[in-house]
Amino acid sequence: MRLHQLKRLFVGTPLPTAQSRHERLSKPTALAVFASDALSSTAYATEEILLVLILAGTAALSYSLPIGVAIAALIAIVVSSYRQTILAYPQGGGAYIVSKDNLGTYPALVAGAALLIDYVLTVAVSVAAGIAAVTSAVPWLFRYRVVLCVAAVAVVAIANLRGIRESGKLFAAPTYLFVVSLFGLIAYGSVGAIFDFLGEAPYQAHPPGLEGIGLFLLLRAFASGCAALTGVEAVSDGVPAFKPPEAHNARVVLAWLGAILITLFLGITYLAYDFGIVPKEHETVVSQLARHVFGGGFLYYEIQFVTMLILLLAANTSFADFPRLAFFLARDRFIPRQFSTQGDRLVFSNGIVILGGLAVVLLLIFKGDTHALIPLYAVGVFVSFTLSQGSMVRRWMRVRGPGWWWRLALNGVGALVTGVVMVTIAVTKFSHGAWIVVLLIPTLVAIFVVVHRHYGEVSRQLSLDDYSPPPPMTNTVLVLVGDLHRGVVHALQYAQTLSPSAKALYVETDPERTRRLEERWGKWGQGLPLIVLTSPYRSLLGPLLEYIDQLQRHGDNHVVTIVLPEFIPARWWQQILHNQTALLIKGTFLFRKNVIVTDVPYHLRH
C-alpha cells in the first residue's frame, strides 16, 4: 500500500485510455518537447569544434567559422529532407518505420539500434553538459557533478512518467526562456562587436593552411560540431503526438526548429571567433561568452541558469522518442513485449525507466564528463539520417506522384551528405570512443534477430492451426511436507480439492523427526496417506526427483502436481530468517515438463 501511495505521489493518478487524444501537443508545446534536444546542442557544439582545433594552436581556431557555416548548411539540408519524410509518413516517420517500409527489415533494425543508442547518449550528454553549465558558474559544485547528473536524470524521468502533456507544460517555459536569452546574448554581443565596445580579440586573421593544421584534424573538428544536429529527427519520430492536423503541425514545428537552431549555432560560433574565446577545462564557451558580454552580474547567471535548464530538459526529447521507438520494435517482436505496454499515465513507462537507468550507468562510467561522452555521440544519429533519407529516395522512385523528382533530389542530397558525414564521424572519432557505438549497433541488431526468432518459435508452438487435442490427462497430486503445522494442514485441505486421491510426501533426513511426524499424522493428516522417502545422504531433491521420474513413466499425458505449503512472515525482512526450500523446489521444477508446482501460502499475523 505504501509503494502504491508513493507511486501516486510521483506519477499521479491513472488516466483512462479515452483520455489519450487529449494528451496531444500544440505547436508551441511540441517545439518545447521535441526541439529542446537540438536547441540545447548549441550550448556545446561550438565548444566541441574549438576543443579539437586548439590541438593545432590558437591560430587554428579561425577555422571554426567556415566549419560552423558548413554545419549550418547541413542542418538546413537535413531539416528540409525530414519535412518531406513527415509529408510521406504522417503517422510517424521515424528512421525505423521509413527504412522498414522501403529498404527492408535489416536496414530498419540498424536504424532502430542506432537511434536507441543515440537517445541514451542524448540523455547522458545533455545532462552532463547542463551540470557543466552549473559548475562553470559555481565552481565548488564540480566535485559533486556525478551526483547532480544522476539526480537530474531522475527528475526528468519522473516528469515524463507523469505523462507527455504534463512534461510538455513543465518544459515549455525553460525552452523559450533559453531561446530568448541566447538571442539576447547574440544580439547584444553582435552590436558590441560591430561598434567595438566589448573588447574584440578575434582569432588570427590568416590561420595556417591545411598543411599546418592537417585535414584529418579539420574533419575531426567538423565531426565534433555535428553534435549540433542531434535531435533534429525527433519531430518526424513524434508526429502522432501532435494535435490534428498532425503532419502539417509537425512540418511547421520542424521549420521553426531549423531556423532557430541555425541562428543560435552560427551566432555563438561567430561571437566565440570575434571575442577570441579559447576553451577551458572548468568553464564552458557559453559561460565565457556570457561573462565577456554581460560581465559577472545577473544576466550572466541568468544565461547559465537557462542553459542548465535547457540542457537538462533536452533529455526530455529522448524520453519522448525512446519509448515510442521501443514500442514499434516491441510491436514487431524485436524487443521484449513489455515495451509496448502503456502505464497509468498513458506513456510507455517501461521505456522511460530503462532509458533513465541506462543513462545513469553511462554517467557513472564516464563520471559526468561531457567531453568524454561526445566521441560516442552523433554516430548513431547520422546512421539513422542516412538510412532514413536513402529510404525516401527509394520511396519517390517507387511511388512517384506530383513533384516526385525534386523531392527525390532533395532526399538524395540529404542521404549523400549525411552518409559522407557518418563515415567522417566514424573514422575521425573511431579511436576516441566511436568504436564502441560501431560495435554496439550490429550487436543490438543480432539481439533483435534472436528475440524475433524466439517470439516466432513461441507463436508457432502455441498456434492452434493444425493442432490435434491431446488425450485426456491423468494427475497425481503430492503435498510435499517437511513438518506438520497449520500451514501444512491448510495445504492438505487444498490438495483434496484438486484430487480425492492426493498423497503427502515426506523426505526423511532424520529418523527421529520422521517418528514424531508419523505420531501426529493420524490426527492432523486430513486422511491423506503419508509416503516417506528415505535419503541416506540427507538430500531433499535427489529422492524427490527419483520419485517424480517413476510417476512420469506412466506416459506423456500424466501430470504431477506438487503442492508446496509455505508460511509467509508478517514483515518482508523476516523472510531471510527462514529456510528457502520452497524457492529451491520451484526453481528445480520450473523447466520440467508435466510437473506443476502450486504454492499454498499461509500468512502469519503481526
Task: Report yes or no on 511 lying in a domain.
Answer: yes
Q: What are phi and psi of 199, to 5 degrees?
A: 70, 75
What pLDDT shows up at residue 1? 47
- Assess whether 264 and 404 both reside in one domain: yes
Q: Are residues 503 and 450 in the same domain?
A: no
User: Is 554 among the domain residues?
Assistant: yes
Within a domain: 80: yes
Mean pLDDT by 10 residues, the chain (606 residues): 49 46 72 80 87 83 90 91 86 82 93 91 86 84 89 85 60 85 92 74 55 74 85 80 86 93 94 86 86 86 87 77 87 88 64 90 87 77 88 89 85 88 84 85 95 93 82 89 90 92 90 89 90 84 89 84 88 75 84 90 84
State whether 323 and 181 are in the same domain: yes
CA distance 105 to 493: 55
Measured CA distances, 570 to 573, 602, 603 (Å): 9, 10, 7
Q: Are residues 192 and 286 in the same domain?
A: yes
The answer to whether residue 12 sits within a structural domain is: no
What's the confidence (pLDDT) of residue 113?
94
State the pLDDT at residue 166: 52
The pLDDT value recorded for residue 253 is 92
Considering the domain architecture, whether residues 288 and 245 belong to the same structural domain is answered as yes
Q: Which residue segment(s) compose the domain that 487 sits in?
A: 474-603
CATH number (domain holding residue 136):
1.20.1740.10
Are 450 and 505 part of one and the same domain? no
Structural domain includes residue 4: no
DSSP structural state of residue 520: H
Evaluate whether residue 465 is within a structural domain: no
Q: Give the cell for residue 233.
A: 529527427
E strand or H helix at 538, and its extent?
A: none
What is the predicted pLDDT for the residue at 496?
93
Q: Does residue 216 share a domain with residue 101?
A: yes
Go through the chain and tell me how many residues it has: 606
Q: What is the pLDDT of residue 483?
A: 86
Tens of pLDDT along 247-267?
A: 889 999 999 999 999 999 999
The DSSP element (H or E) to which 62 belongs, if any, is none
Do 255 and 315 sit in the same domain of this protein?
yes
Same domain for 446 and 487, yes or no, is: no
- Residue 498 confidence (pLDDT): 92
The answer on 509 and 391 residing in a single domain is no
pTM: 0.75
Per-residue pLDDT at 174: 84
Q: Starting at the edge strand that comes first in sequence, how are the strands of the sheet with 558-568 ordered? A: 530-534, 503-508, 474-480, 558-568, 595-603
9 inside domain? no
Residue 192 within any structural domain of the chain: yes
CA nearest 84: which of 420, 409, 419, 422? 409
Residue located via cell numbers 510417476: 551
Smallest CA-to-CA distance from 168 within 311, 329, 320 is with 320
CATH (domain of 580): 3.40.50.620
Same domain, 248 and 287: yes
Cis before 336? omega within 30:
no
- Residue 302 shares a structural domain with residue 437: yes
Domain count, the chain: 2
- Residue 23 is predicted with a pLDDT of 53
